[in-house]
Amino acid sequence: MSLAKDNPYYRMPSDYEDDIYLWAHEQAQLLRLGRFSEVDLPNVIEEIESLGREVRTQLEFHYRDLISHLLEWQEAPENRTSEIDGAILNCRFAIQEEEADSRSLRSDAKRIVADVYPGAVRLAMTATGLERHRFPFECPFSIEFLRDLDAMPVIGQGGET
d(CA 111, CA 130): 26
- The per-residue pLDDT for 1 is 41
- Domain range list for the chain: 3-38, 53-147
Q: pTM score > 0.85 for this model? A: no
DSSP 112-141: HHHHHHHHHHHHHHHHH---GGGS-SS--S
- Would the pLDDT of 158 be above 70? no
Query: 74: which residues sit within 8 A by CB, 6+ positions away?
Result: 153, 154, 155, 156, 157, 158
The residue among 154, 130, 126, 139 whose CA lies nearest residue 66 is: 139
Q: Are 103 and 157 in contact (CB under 8 A)?
A: no
The better pLDDT of the pair 66, 3 is held by 66
Task: Tell me the per-residue pLDDT of 2-37, one tens digit each, with 9 for 90 and over.
Answer: 555 567 777 777 777 788 888 899 999 999 999 999
The better pLDDT of the pair 156, 41 is held by 41
